[in-house]
């Protein structure tokens, strides 16, 4: 899931993978629409417990 740490943003997945196998990377692409942010900062996270907690992915800060 995606959420903004600030004003609401509309974030639409451009491509969606239907299959996820453990240990296999899945490329995700997203487009941020709207003009709420002039210079957005992103941090991708991952969860290993079905979304109960989240951890930053080191170096994953781009779209």
Domain count across the chain: 1
Whether 63 is covered by a domain: the verdict is no
Whole-number average pLDDT of the chain:
73
Residue 23 sits in which domain range? 1-57
**Model confidence pLDDT, tens digit, residues 16-35:** 656 667 777 766 666 666 67
Q: What is the pLDDT of residue 1?
A: 58
The 3-state secondary structure of 2-52, one letter per residue:
CCCCCCCCEEEEEECCCCCCCCCCCCCEEEEECCCCCCCCCCCEECCCCCC
Whether 19 is covered by a domain: the verdict is yes
Whether 62 is covered by a domain: the verdict is no
Q: Report residue 42's pLDDT band, with 50, 70 and 90 as the boundaries.
A: confident
């Amino acid at each position: 899931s995606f959420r903004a740490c600030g004003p609401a943003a509309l974030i639409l997945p451009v491509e969606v993978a239907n299959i996820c196998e453990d240990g296999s990377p899945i490329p995700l692409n997203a487009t941020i629409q709207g003009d709420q942010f002039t210079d957005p900062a992103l941090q991708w996270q991952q969860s290993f417990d079905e979304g109960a907690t989240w951890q930053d992915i080191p170096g994953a800060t781009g779209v």
